[in-house]
Amino acid sequence: MDHPIEFFSEDIDFSLENPEQISDWIADIIEQHEQELVSLTYIFCSDDYLHQINVEYLDHDTLTDIITFDNADIEGTIEGDIFISIDRVRDNAATHGTSFHDELHRVLIHGVLHLLGFKDKTPEQEAAMRKLEDSSLSLRKF
């Protein structure tokens, strides 16, 4: 299936394994939430690159694994840019005792869940987000 999902890297040499299968999986999750996928761009980068975006655009002077920008103009549509620090994903995988690919897939879908309207600011929202991530991860066919 062909989807309007693109994967790029900035300032690091990283390419996604099986991008077509991952795109299908992401599109399926969006469809399950009854949203229309317009355009989704993932940008893989370093801690330094994402930290600069965090400072410049969000006024947060911290490291993070993901920043999601929602570009949708029409309710019910998904259009956005998702920046992911591969450095953070590697560190978090080690910290949580999971594989790099499982952690990367969790972060990939985490950004989509934000675009779908789910938040993670409170402990309750965080717990709900984790359940949605787990549910989404269980639907992977790769």
**Tokens in use for 83?**
């920046």
**Domain ranges, ordered by start, for the chain:** 5-137
Fill in the amino acid letter for 83. F
Residue 105 annotated as binding site? no
**Cα R_g (the chain), whole angstroms:** 14
Model pLDDT, residue 142: 85
Residue 90, strand partner residues:
none
Region for residue 18 given its phi and psi (left: phi exceeds 0; alpha: psi -120 to 50; beta: otherwise): left
Instruction: Determine what percent of the chain is predicted with pLDDT higher than 90.
Output: 96
pLDDT in tens, 59-110: 999 999 999 999 999 999 999 999 999 999 999 999 999 999 999 999 999 9
Residue 96 annotated as binding site? no
pLDDT of 1 higher than 60:
no
Report whether 44 contacts 10 (CB < 8 A). Answer: yes
CATH class of segment(s) 5-137: alpha beta
Q: How far apart are CA 65 and CA 5, in angstroms?
A: 20
Residue 110 annotated as binding site? yes
SS3 of 114-128: HHCCCCCCCHHHHHH
Measured between alpha carbons, how far is residue 106 from residues 54, 56, 128 in Å? 20, 25, 14
